[in-house]
Amino acid sequence: MYLVTVLGNLLIILAVISDSHLHTPMYFFLCNLSFADICFSSAMVPKMIVDIPTHIKVISYVGCLTQMSFVSMFGCMDDMLLTVMAYDRFLAICHPLHYAVIMNLHLCVLLLLVCVFISLLDSQVQNVTALQFTCFKDVEIANFFCHPTEIFNLSCSDTLIKTFVTYLVGTMVGFFPMLGILFSYCKIVSSILKISSSGGRYKAFSTCSSHLSVVCLFYGTGLTSYLGSFVSYSPREGMVTSLMYGLVTPMLNPFIYSLRNRDINSTLKRLHC
């Protein structure tokens, strides 16, 4: 599954880079989403792959914080890019005549830099908070990687700081991006319903279907894992949901975009030939 995740996303990146017809804002952000997916899975899965045959379930304190930092950064990067891609679809469908002028190269690069900055900020806020705690020794984490909420729950220090950071991060990388995506799709649906022909409505919706599928998959598994840390449910359920958004979701993204996208399909066929 990890190899499929890496190879699938690498194929998407290769297809976008090699075909000049795919040098558009939508595919620019898709290319960066694929890169973030590779890094996101690589931050946690290789350690798990090594641990399975050796039966070693130990990670150092520094290693745990490092893993947590990369998982937070690239998980947030996925979130931000999905929000930007929703904004891109909103402009393409609701303002088609101004799309090329608004969504120019400078704005695309600026939006990408904003995504990177917010992701780095999210990662460092959680790391700095974790560093305030006493170093742990011989404690068990009910997950297959160092999940931020799991680390915070192990601390015996002031719960006010942990609660504040948890809600701050949840609002910054969860609530606001989701609000932006919902706003974009409300406007998109409103514009699609105004199209008189059924063929036009189908064509407009088909440009969003892949992105919408990935958003539902990402937020469905991510929110279940994140909110589950505050609810009394079994550690096994927590690990299953973490595995879903940590490995299954990045693995399925290339299939969703390639199977439902003619441009990507035709480019991949030419590369194969």
The whole-angstrom separation of Cα 164 and Cα 143 is 23
The pTM assigned to this predicted structure is 0.86
Q: pLDDT confidence of 208, banded at 50, 70, 90?
A: confident
Q: Which amino acid does the sequence have at 80?
A: M
User: What total of structural domains would you count in the chain?
Assistant: 1
pLDDT digits 0-9 by tens, 128-168: 777 776 556 667 776 777 777 777 766 666 566 666 766 77
pLDDT digits 0-9 by tens, 225-262: 665 555 555 666 667 777 777 788 888 888 887 766 77
Mean pLDDT in the chain? 81
Length of the chain: 273
The whole-angstrom separation of Cα 23 and Cα 157 is 50
pLDDT digits 0-9 by tens, 113-133: 999 999 998 888 888 777 776
Pick the residue with more confidence: 61 or 30?
A: 30
Both tokens of 69, joined, read 């930092």
pLDDT attached to residue 135 = 58
pLDDT digits 0-9 by tens, 40-74: 999 888 888 888 888 777 888 788 888 888 988 99
Structural domain range at position 45: 2-272
**Domain of residue 242, CATH code:** 1.20.1070.10
The whole-angstrom separation of Cα 258 and Cα 213 is 13
Asked if 143 and 242 touch (Cβ cutoff 8 Å), the reply is yes
User: Residues 13-38: what's their mean pLDDT?
Assistant: 90
The whole-angstrom separation of Cα 17 and Cα 32 is 11
Q: pLDDT confidence of 103, banded at 50, 70, 90?
A: very high
Task: Using the predicted structure, report yes or no on whether residue 266 has a pLDDT greater than 60.
Answer: yes
Task: Using the predicted structure, report yes or no on whether residue 172 has a pLDDT greater than 80.
Answer: no
Q: pLDDT confidence of 109, banded at 50, 70, 90?
A: very high
Lowest model confidence (mean pLDDT) among 33-37, 51-55, 82-86? 51-55
Instruction: Write down the H helix ranges in the chain.
Output: 2-18, 25-42, 45-54, 61-94, 99-102, 105-131, 148-154, 159-170, 176-193, 198-228, 235-243, 249-259, 262-272
Q: pLDDT confidence of 193, banded at 50, 70, 90?
A: confident
pLDDT attached to residue 21 = 83
